[in-house]
């Protein structure tokens, strides 16, 4: 049986599935329910300084994007950090860690960008017995306007500075949570490492407006006729998160920096993809808010079964396995050619592939009077659009051509016959080496 035990920067948990800092981790009651359901760890919802209370809106806090079947694809929130008293949160964190010593309890923190503020809160969190802290440098709304959250995360110098303050004033592992609202995520990751951070977590939510109410002309969620940008999360952000995780994992300057992957993890397969691209564990929020805490049981069983089938004994066996296969476009093998193939037994004759190719691509699919759809290899550029628009999974596939393959109908070579792409003069890497 696969061993799902996780050891992330010295923080051990029975599995790599943690709940992210968000409403599901806002109080003891929720976290206890989460641990009973099987979650390996939690990042407690962000704590602030012991001062004037945080006041959240009392109107709608969420906006949403749905698929055609009403499946939740993306969630926008305008909620701030915890609005519960600091002393209450600290007391509850201590009680939870005492009763669940085998689970990871990490505390998210966000205070003003002043050394005194960080030095004041760190010993309070440390006294709870928490396993680590996560510096919230990602929140894109509400707190960022106050000079915290993403306002810090967008300035590498600030990230390095605060990370160093924390490392100098606590025994706990320091995880820096990065904002995706930036051009090059490698720079803040490098700054976190330079400041001594033990790891980074990403992505935090993406600044967004999900919709506009065309009756009131107000963004949703609307508060008394006004709306604001919020933080976008859920399945829709997963591609962005995967890319940013991979960028950090394959950057020579941060390749050894542990990563906690966040962003749209809904299934065990999502988690496996994050692990393969370099994440040491994953954090989940929207899936739990959509389906409840017990969704983790499907994640655990699915990941375990897949690992057994593939022969992966531990989670560490997966981490980073796909990173060597992530490259820049210029180094892709232009000698590799595929062609679309339509399984006529599976085809339902809807014509989506034909019209997509005919109207918007390369006119490589023909349609007979009796609606038989066939691919013309000499026109097919292997764009894969037909595969993506086909409603029948597996009906259209892409078949790799071997060098020198000739289309018997046209006599044309459908695969350029380069002897070895890695040394071919057209390969940019070869050109660069020659220079």
Set out the domains of the chain in order of their start, with CATH numbers.
6-325 (3.20.20.70), 329-434 (3.30.70.20)
What per-residue confidence (pLDDT) applies to 139?
Answer: 65
Spatial CB neighbours of 226, under 8 Å, sequence gap ≥ 6: 218
Reading the chain (435 residues) residue by residue, the pLDDT tens digits are 899 999 999 999 999 999 999 999 999 999 999 999 999 999 999 998 866 667 677 767 788 888 888 888 888 887 778 888 999 999 999 999 999 999 999 999 999 888 999 999 999 999 999 999 999 986 655 455 455 556 677 889 999 999 999 999 999 999 999 999 899 999 999 999 999 999 999 999 888 888 898 999 988 888 877 778 778 888 999 999 999 999 999 999 999 999 999 999 999 999 999 999 999 999 999 999 999 999 999 999 999 999 999 999 999 999 999 999 999 988 988 878 899 999 999 999 999 999 999 999 999 999 999 999 999 988 999 999 999 999 999 999 999 887 666 666 556 665 554 445 455 555 555 555 555
Look up the pTM and report it. Answer: 0.89
Question: Strands 373-375 and 365-367: what pairing?
Answer: antiparallel
Secondary structure class of 212 (helix, strand, coil):
strand
Question: What Cα–Cα distance (Å) separates residue 120 from each residue in 75, 108, 111, 392?
Answer: 34, 15, 10, 58
Active-site residue set: 139
Q: Is the preceding peptide bond at 203 cis, omega within 30 degrees of 0? A: yes
Between CA 136 and CA 133 the distance in angstroms is 9
* Residue 104, strand partner residues: 41
- If phi > 0 it is left, if psi is from -120 to 50 it is alpha, else beta; for residue 49 that is beta
- Measuring CA to CA, which residue among 297, 261, 299 is closest to residue 282? 261
pLDDT of residue 417: 45
Write the burial class of residue 409 (CB in 10 Å: 0-12 exposed, 13-18 middle, 19+ buried). exposed
At 419 the pLDDT is 46
């Amino acid at each position: 049986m696969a061993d799902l035990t996780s050891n992330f920067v010295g923080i051990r948990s029975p599995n790599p599935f943690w709940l992210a800092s968000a409403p599901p981790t806002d109080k003891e009651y929720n976290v206890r329910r989460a641990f009973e359901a099987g979650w390996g760890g939690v990042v407690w919802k962000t704590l602030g300084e012991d001062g004037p209370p945080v006041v959240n809106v009392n109107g709608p806090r969420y906006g949403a994007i749905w698929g055609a079947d009403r499946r939740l694809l993306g969630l926008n929130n305008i909620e701030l950090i915890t609005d519960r008293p600091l002393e209450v949160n600290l007391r509850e964190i201590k009680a939870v860690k005492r009763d669940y010593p085998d689970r990871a309890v990490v505390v998210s923190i966000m205070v003003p960008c002043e050394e005194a503020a960080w030095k004041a809160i760190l010993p309070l969190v440390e006294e709870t017995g928490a396993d680590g802290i996560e510096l919230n440098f990602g929140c894109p709304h509400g707190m960022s306007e106050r000079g915290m959250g993403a306002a810090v995360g967008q300035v590498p110098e600030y990230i390095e500075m605060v990370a160093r303050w924390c490392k100098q004033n606590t025994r706990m592992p320091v995880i820096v949570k990065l904002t995706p609202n930036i051009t090059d995520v490698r720079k803040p990751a490098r700054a976190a490492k330079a400041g001594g951070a033990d790891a980074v977590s990403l992505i935090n939510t993406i600044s967004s407006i999900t919709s506009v109410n065309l009756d009131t002309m107000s963004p949703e969620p609307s508060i008394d006729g006004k709306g604001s940008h919020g933080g976008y999360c859920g399945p829709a952000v997963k591609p962005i998160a995967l890319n940013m995780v991979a960028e950090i994992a394959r950057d020579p300057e941060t390749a050894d920096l542990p990563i906690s992957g966040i962003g749209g993890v809904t299934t065990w397969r999502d988690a496996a993809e994050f692990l393969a691209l370099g994440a040491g564990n994953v954090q989940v929020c929207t899936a739990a808010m959509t389906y409840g805490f017990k969704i983790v049981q499907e994640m655990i069983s699915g990941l375990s079964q897949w690992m057994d089938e593939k022969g992966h004994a531990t989670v560490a066996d997966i981490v980073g396995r796909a990173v060597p296969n992530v490259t820049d476009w210029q180094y892709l093998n232009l000698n590799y050619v595929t062609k679309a193939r339509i399984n006529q037994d599976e085809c339902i004759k809807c014509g989506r592939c034909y019209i997509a190719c005919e109207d918007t691509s390369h006119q490589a699919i023909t349609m007979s009077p009796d609606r038989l759809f066939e691919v013309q290899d000499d026109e097919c550029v292997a764009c894969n659009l037909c595969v993506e628009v086909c409603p029948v999974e597996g009906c259209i596939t892409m078949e790799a051509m071997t060098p020198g393959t000739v289309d018997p109908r046209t006599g044309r070579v459908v695969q350029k016959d380069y002897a070895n792409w890695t040394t071919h003069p057209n390969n940019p890497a070869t050109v660069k080496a020659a220079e």
